[in-house]
Structure 1
Amino acid sequence: MTEPARVEDVHALAAAMPHVTRLEGPKGNAVYQVGGKSFVFFRTPQPDARDAETGEKFPDVIMFWVESEEDKDALVHDPTTPFFTTPRFDGHLSVLLRAADLHRLSREELAEIVQDAWLSRASNRRREKWLAEHPAR
C-alpha cells in the first residue's frame, strides 16, 4: 500500500473536485457539495454510531455518498475496507467511515471514494465532462 489516507486528504480531495462548495455545519463540521448536493459530510457525534464497548458516540464519522445500493453493499460488506453503515442509513446511498480508520485506506483508494462520491451527486453535464477529462477511470 502506498501512503495511508489522512483527514487532511479527505478535505484536499473533496475541495479539488470541480464546482465544489464547502459549507460549515452548525457545529463547525465540513460539508462538501456540488451543485447544492452534499457528497462528503463530516458528521457531528450521533447516537447511531457508537463504540460497542463504551457506548460513546463516535466523534469522527465521515459520510460519503455512493452511486448505488450495490456500491454501498460492496464497500460495507468487504472485510478489507473500514466502511460501515447503521440502520439509520438503510436506503440512503451513503457509507460511513471513522477518521480513526482512514489509515486503512491508501490516499489513492480514498481519492477514488471521493471522486465516486462527487460523481454520484454531480449533474449529468458535470459528470460527463469530468469523466471525459479523466478517461483512465
Structure 2
Amino acid sequence: MTRPACPEDVDAICGGLPETELGISWGDRPTWKVPRGEKGKGFVLYRAPHKTAVDPETGEMWDDLVVITTPTEVEKNALVADESTPFFTIDHFRGHSAVLVRLSRLGEIDRDELEEIITDAWAAKAPRKLVREHLGD
C-alpha cells in the first residue's frame, strides 16, 4: 500500500494528467477540465456547501466536498457500495455518473486508489485520441 491519500493529492493527480487545466464551472466552482481551453469538460469539481449534502449528526453543510466523475453508473455504484471507501452519493446526483468524497476523509484510501479513480474520471471526459495516447487501448 502506498501512503494514505490527502487533499493535496487531488490537484497533484489532476494536474499531472495530460491536457488538464483548473478552471471554473457551476458559476464559481474550481473544476479540473480536459482538454485545456473552451472545449474542456469537467471531471473533478470542488462543490460549494449546499443543503443537499449535510452531516447527518449535526445538520451542518459539508464544506469540503469533491465531485469525481465515474465512467458509468456501474463504477459509481461499486464505489458507493464499498463500505471500505469514503465515497458516497446524494439524491441530487441520482442518474449522474459521479461520486462525492469529503477531503477530510481521503486518508481512508491510499493515494494509488485515488489516482486510479481520478484517472478513470479524466479518461471518461478526455478526447478518445488523448486517452489512447496516455493509457493505450
TM-score normalised by the chain length of structure 2 = 0.91
3-state SS of 1:62 partner: strand
What are structure 2's unaligned runs of at least 5 residues?
Answer: none
Alignment of 1:7-46 (within 5 A): 7-24=7-24, 27=28, 29-35=29-35, 36-46=40-50
Residues 100-133 of structure 1 show CA distances to partners (whole Å, capped at 9, x for unaligned) of 110001011111011011001111111111112x
Q: State the 1:24 CA deviation.
A: 4.2
Q: Under a length normalisation based on structure 1, what TM-score does the superposition of the two structures give? A: 0.91
5+ residue gaps, structure 1, are: none
Equivalent position of 2:5 in the other structure: 5
Q: Provide Cα deviations, 1:43-83, integer angstroms capped at 9, x if missing partner.
A: 11011110001110000000100001100000000111110
Q: Using the aligned pairs only, state the percent identity.
A: 39
Show the 5 A alignment for 1:72-87.
72-87=76-91
The answer to whether structure 1 residue 113 and structure 2 residue 117 are counterparts is yes
Alignment length, in residue pairs?
132
| 1:127 aligned onto 2:128 | no
Q: What is the deviation of 1:95?
A: 0.4
Please identify runs of 4+ aligned residues in structure 1 that moved more than 3 A.
24-27
